[in-house]
Chains A and B, each alone.
Chain A
């Protein structure tokens, strides 16, 4: 079965610091991987996706992620955090085994940004 593990339920950074949110996946077939962001009382917004093209994926709001097959990782980074980045972030996987439309989500990481 496909799954993702997000390390750290909470990550705290200072404004201007590097943001690193970790995601490791488990899949017996090439996966599709996604990062979503959720603001309070809102739905999910797609930040970026990996669908077997370039391993370094650039997304919206300055975020990017690198697919590393050898490490089964898809960590999300942003060089400089902004106060508006404070939200909950979810890594998700889909693939041929579970159906490409079925997203399997990690437990989420809440990003806290301090001034």
Chain B
């Protein structure tokens, strides 16, 4: 059974640009959550999507957005990139109902220059 797949693994962008990251959950999982990991702030929750609807949101500016498609794949978008957006972005998937166990992808390393 394939795990959570995040693409791309590495990305370099320039300040002011926008970026889109992709996450394919484990087959059958309908909940996708996104986290940002930085040395200074640690692991922080961005948002969760279930059945194509945002169900929960962390404390991030509106430049961070996401969406989920009917096949449960999810994308997150960051507009007007800032140097501080450089981070490892992790996606996690789960069934949501019943088990709360979340399975993480390997992440996308975003570097903003």
Q: Which residues of A contact B (CB under 8 A)?
A: 32, 36, 41-46, 49, 51, 90, 92, 94, 98-108
Contacts and interface: CB of A to CB of B under 8 A. Distances in A.
A31 B32 CA distance: 21
Contacts of A36: 104
Contacts of A42: 106-107
Given A44-B90, A90-B43, A103 B102 contact: yes
Contacts of A104: 45
Contacts of B106: 41-43
B72 to A, nearest CB: 14
B52 to A, nearest CB: 15
B102 to A, nearest CB: 6
B31 interface: yes
20 contacts: A36-B104, A42-B106, A43-B6, A44-B90, A44-B92, A49-B100, A49-B101, A51-B100, A92-B43, A94-B100, A98-B56, A100-B100, A101-B50, A101-B55, A102-B45, A102-B48, A102-B58, A103-B43, A105-B42, A105-B43
